[in-house]
Structure 1
Amino acid sequence: MSELTVSRHFVEAALTGAQKKGFDIDALLLSAGISPDLLKIEMARVSSSQYSRLLQNIWNVMEDEFMGLGPRRCRTGTFATMCALIIDCPNLEAVYRQAFDFCRLFEPMVGMQLEQHGDEVKLVTVIEGEIDDPLHFFQESILVIWHRLGSWLVGQPVELVRAEFSYPEPAHGDEYRHIFHCPLAFNCSKTALTFSKRFLDAPVIRDKPEMRQFLKTSPADLLSRPDESNTYTGRIRALIGRDFSRSLPDFEWIAAELNTSPQTLRRRLKQENTSFQEIKDLLRRDMAIYYLARPDLAINDIAFKVGFTEPSTFHRAFKKWTGVTPGAYREGERGGPG
């Protein structure tokens, strides 16, 4: 079964603190099953499970959940302790207020604070002290973890109205569309996520055994595996399925399956910052990368599996997605020809 992939940018960004502090980057990559040679390919991607392992390895080796990027060290176990505290909260508002109070116990503080603005609520990043975060990975991680943790606790996606960033749009800004599924704004006064006030009343539906299970792979999984089951993007991915060797369902059929009109679905996808064509293309790309990691599959067979009748068309598409041919990509994943 193929899975979502993560851009090489986020792999390198996650390693910036460890690199500065002199840790063995190649060893960290290899322990997560990632070939260092793969990162020589500018548009390379890794699987979400590899990325999740890498993050856990970085936290454990550095003994720092801030990965050397924050204003101080954050000992491993801090996130789990916060989660043990907030699992007893009645609703999402209490979760975010309790989590903020927990973060205030540390100095300098790093957390997110709720601000109410009429019918909307802002979750605003509060970072005291100096951070060494040239690729904005630390700030992005805080946004993603707090948002996805809240969504997981209440068992539904907290739909974002807007994501704001206090810095200019970075070179990897296009990736944000697939992370936040909402309109983006850069050069803002604060880094914050805005959502409807109604989510604050959503009850916490998870219990302590579920939390224990969740913490075995968190917060790494929160960063690497977005729960897309409730976004239109995720639901369409699920409806398309994994078998591209047969003809794909058309947009009208998908809309009918989702009990909506094609016009409404188009509008919803626009709100999620994507399109039907892009969803299909990215699914093909992720599947192609997944299959290339299996040495038993010939490249021409992979072309057919991901829905290309002509291998030459597949080569062109793959080069557009990753900047290299399928053969060169496979060499990189294996560790290169020598």
Structure 2
Amino acid sequence: MTLHSSHTIYAESFFARNATLFSPYLAAAGLNQEVLHTPGLEIPLSQYVELWEILGREVSPSIGLQVGLRTKCHELGVWGYAVRCAPTMQLALHCMSHFIEVLTQGCRIQVEMAGRSVGIVYQITDPLIIQCRQDAEFSVACGLSIIREITECANLSPVRVEFEHGAPADLSIYNELFECPVLFNQADNRLYFNEDFLDMPVRTSEHRLFQALEAFLEQQRIKRAGSSDLLHGLLRHIADSLSRGSPSIEQVAVTMNMGVRTLQRRLADHALDFSQLVEVVRRSLAENYVSRTDYSLTDIALLLGYTEASSFSRAFRRWMQITPQQYRQQARIEALSVGA
């Protein structure tokens, strides 16, 4: 049982637009060249994010920022066109947040008022995806590019930018691109603008086209959300509970505000087994922690609900047929050889 492809993102014309950049590294992320020529193709979110991390290692540590700032609405399918056509800034922001699942599952965009500022929040919510710096930087920079496009204000800058990942050694490109304070190790990824930003006109507005696109997007949103809500909720609550030990179905039902029998019935309706889900979450997180972080095996064991590192190591060997140490060493060798 695998859940790596439970959340997806559409290729749209974005992949074709960046074919020269993406093509040499697709195979390393488990993708094939078809994504460059098939806008309607659904790509597993985990592989899409991994592609960005590979590009960050092999091309440039600021690649997400660079590509994000040159990305345009038309590259992002119906979602992008609808944002561009929105009659007002408030409707454009609502469209960005409410319909993001039509473009990509497993993430959220949220608009919040914070004092006299407007915050645009982006975050991957898929609990199985751990390393996502490049995706976060691409998405924040892309958000700024879209706002500049629809306002036709190329020099528009936020008043503050926040990222949930740690600060890189060289911060010069952040200062150059955003021209405002940039903070790291924050709760999520955010662009902040002054409150009068909401009154800025949308210069690219096409009201009648927006009405048609909005109706279509709502249909697609319901379809996309309905296929993933239960599984996504279960994965998140199981992952959140692991550091406190192996979660029970009773514990997870309580955190989901659901009766145990109701949860059992819904699992049965989707042919899902709770104990298998716990095992899959542990295995997926274990692969990520071992191959993409420097956490000690003891720390990883505790994060996954094991009381001893030896218990974790035995489970990992059962899953992967090699030890965690061997798996980490292989992952580092593969990372060095990508693009060679």
Q: TM-score normalized by structure 2?
A: 0.39
Question: Going by fraction, where is helix more abundant, 1 or 2?
Answer: 2
Q: TM-score normalized by structure 1?
A: 0.39
Q: Which has the higher contact order (CA 8 A, sep 6+)?
A: 1
